Each structure stands twice: as structure tokens, then as C-alpha cells.
């Protein structure tokens, strides 16, 4: 997946958030994948608590679908809510396979009321903060993840002018983003932006800009896979935009255009590989670091090492 072959469409803007759709050709059939949230809803995957904060075990029970987990997916339940630390593909009928994780709820180490301490019930959220995603994906530091969770809770609380610390677990990232008032605020963005992919059948990803600054882009080897992930990805961008509402763009800043995004891609493709991580059983994640961007390429051995997911994060 070469970013130079991607067309950029947009922006689509609501308040301080601008979305660009990335258009391109499919490299594989995304119908064979099921994302984590959908798999949990259909009960064709089990995410097992292991008693180790830094590792969970995932079991794909489906006989038809390969499970796709994206780094930053949050799972709710167990002894502590976690975020999964890497992109991950698990073939059908996989058996239990370990996956690295980070706690996004410090302090709790017991069953929460109505939940199962031995497994995780849902994955409705994706980490809604660039600094939090980078703590998990690049720094891979539990202490930094806890710090960035606290900062994200503070930013969201300040934007809504109310504390977003749930009584059941004040440190829980997941319970904070479930706050009713925050959900209502989020829906104003979703009403304006959720349907933008409807008329773009060749969309394979998106990039977003907050307060006039490029934040993140995600592209996939399949438009079908992107559409399966779209709602959760948009939610994360919206929540990050809400957290940044108090910050105003510089008056002298030039507006970000499709051409700006395209140039960002050109520069990102020049970044050199700084790390390779094999993630059994199916993928390899290559990290490339440039002057303005960190790029994560997830390659799927099941598709002759084709790029399954490319994630760009602006420095």
C-alpha cells in the first residue's frame, strides 16, 4: 500500500474536527475479517483474563472469519479494563493466543459489579487521544499509559465542565467515555460526519485534523474492512476533538487542505524503518520514524505480506 497511490477527498468539517477520506483500490477481500467489537457482540470470540496486566489471551471461536484487532481497541471487564497493544489477526478456530495489553484503569483488580472477572464483555471504544495511542504503540510503557489516561480524562472533563470520573471506578478510561453528557456531545459531531463515506465506495481510510493541526491517518488494504471499523474510528476522532475544544488554532496557521494531506503522505513514505515486531500467528508490524510522522505498517503473512493497515501519527 503506497500512499502516493491514495487520493484525498475533503475536508468534511464540524466545529474543530475535519475529516479527509482516503480513496484507493482494494488489495484483498475484507469480507473475511470480523472486527473485535462485532465478534464480541456475536460471541464468536473470547478475550480471557490471565492475571497478567501486560498480557491477555484471545480465542477466535468462529469457523468462518479471521478476527481483526487494532492496536488501541479497549476491552471492558476482567480484573481491569485493558487496551490491546498491537494490530493482531487471529484465524478462525484459533485456540487461545496471547496478545500484549495495557491497563487503562489503574487500581481495580477485582470483578466489577455485573461483569465477569475472567473475561471481557465488550470493545465499544478505541483510544481517543494521540498521546495515549503513542504511549501504548510506541513507548509501550504502562506508566505512561496510566499518565495519558489521566490527562485525557482531565481534558474531557474540562471541555464538558464536569468531572468525568465514574463512581464505580474513577480511573477507568472506558467508564469516563461512557458518560451520558459526553455521549450527547459526541452525537452532534457524528450527525454531521458519520455518513460521509456513504457516497465514497472506494474509501479505504481517513485522516483527521483537530484545531487546524494534522493528527492521524489510517488506511487499510480493503474498503470493506475500513467500513467495518469506521464508526469506532470516528468516535475516537470525535472524542479527541472534544478534548481539544479549549485549544484554539493559531491565527496565522494555514488551513489544512487535501493537498496538505497528500504532501504529508509523500514525506511519510520517506521514513526509515526503526523497528520490526512479529505478532504471531499472522502479522508483522514495521515502525518507521520520520521528521514529522511516525508510521506503523501492519503486514499480513496470510496475504503475502500485503499491508493490512497503515497508521500515520503526526509528531
Domain ranges of the chain: 3-314
From the CB of residue 184, how many other CB atoms can be counted at a distance below 10 Å? 10
Q: What is the mean pLDDT of residues 274-298?
A: 94
Q: What is the mean pLDDT of residues 202-225?
A: 97
Report yes or no on whether pTM surpasses 0.85.
yes
91-126 residue pLDDT tens: 999 999 999 999 999 888 888 888 888 999 999 999
Percent of the chain with pLDDT over 70: 98
CA 163, CA 119: separation in Å to the nearest integer? Answer: 29
Q: Is-contact 173 105, C-beta < 8 A?
A: yes
Cell 481483526, located at residue: 68
From the CB of residue 11, how many other CB atoms can be counted at a distance below 10 Å? 20
DSSP string, 62-121: -SS-EEEE-TTEEEEESSS-EEE-S-EEE-TT-EEEEEEEEESS-S--SPPTTS-TTBEE
The three-class DSSP label of residue 269 is coil
244-275 residue pLDDT tens: 998 877 666 789 999 999 999 999 988 889 99
The three-class DSSP label of residue 239 is helix
Residue 82 has pLDDT above 90, yes or no: yes
Amino acid at each position: 500500500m503506497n500512499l502516493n497511490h491514495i487520493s484525498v477527498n475533503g475536508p468534511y468539517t464540524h466545529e474543530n474536527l475535519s475529516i479527509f477520506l482516503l480513496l484507493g483500490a482494494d488489495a484483498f477481500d475484507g469480507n473475511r475479517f470480523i472486527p473485535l467489537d462485532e465478534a464480541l457482540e456475536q460471541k464468536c470470540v473470547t478475550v480471557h483474563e490471565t492475571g497478567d496486566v501486560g498480557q491477555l489471551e484471545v480465542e477466535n471461536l468462529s469457523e468462518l472469519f479471521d478476527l481483526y484487532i487494532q492496536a488501541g481497541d479497549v476491552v471492558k471487564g476482567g480484573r481491569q479494563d485493558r487496551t490491546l497493544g498491537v494490530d493482531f489477526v487471529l484465524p478462525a478456530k484459533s485456540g487461545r493466543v496471547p496478545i500484549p495489553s495495557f491497563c487503562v484503569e489503574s487500581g481495580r483488580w477485582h470483578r466489577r459489579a455485573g461483569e465477569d472477572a475472567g473475561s471481557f464483555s465488550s470493545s465499544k471504544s478505541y483510544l481517543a487521544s494521540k498521546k495515549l495511542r503513542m504511549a501504548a504503540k510506541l513507548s509501550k510503557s504502562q506508566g505512561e499509559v496510566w499518565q495519558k489516561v489521566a490527562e485525557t480524562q482531565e481534558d474531557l472533563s474540562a471541555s464538558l465542565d464536569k468531572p468525568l470520573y465514574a463512581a464505580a471506578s474513577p480511573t477507568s478510561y472506558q467508564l469516563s467515555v461512557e458518560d451520558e453528557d459526553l455521549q450527547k456531545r459526541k452525537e452532534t459531531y457524528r450527525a454531521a460526519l458519520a455518513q460521509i463515506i456513504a457516497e465514497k465506495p472506494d474509501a479505504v481510510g481517513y485522516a483527521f485534523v483537530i484545531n487546524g493541526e494534522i493528527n492521524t491517518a489510517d488506511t487499510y488494504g480493503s474498503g470493506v474492512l475500513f467500513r467495518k471499523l469506521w464508526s469506532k474510528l470516528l468516535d475516537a476522532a470525535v472524542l479527541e476533538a472534544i478534548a481539544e475544544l479549549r485549544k484554539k488554532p493559531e491565527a496565522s496557521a494555514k488551513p489544512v487542505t487535501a493537498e496538505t494531506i497528500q504532501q504529508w503522505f509523500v514525506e511519510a513514505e520517506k521514513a526509515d524503518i526503526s523497528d520490526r515486531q512479529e505478532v504471531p500467528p499472522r502479522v508483522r508490524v514495521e515502525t518507521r520514524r520520520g521528521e514529522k510522522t511516525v508510521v506503523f505498517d501492519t503486514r499480513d503473512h496470510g496475504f503475502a505480506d500485503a499491508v493490512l493497515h497503515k497508521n500515520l501519527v503526526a509528531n
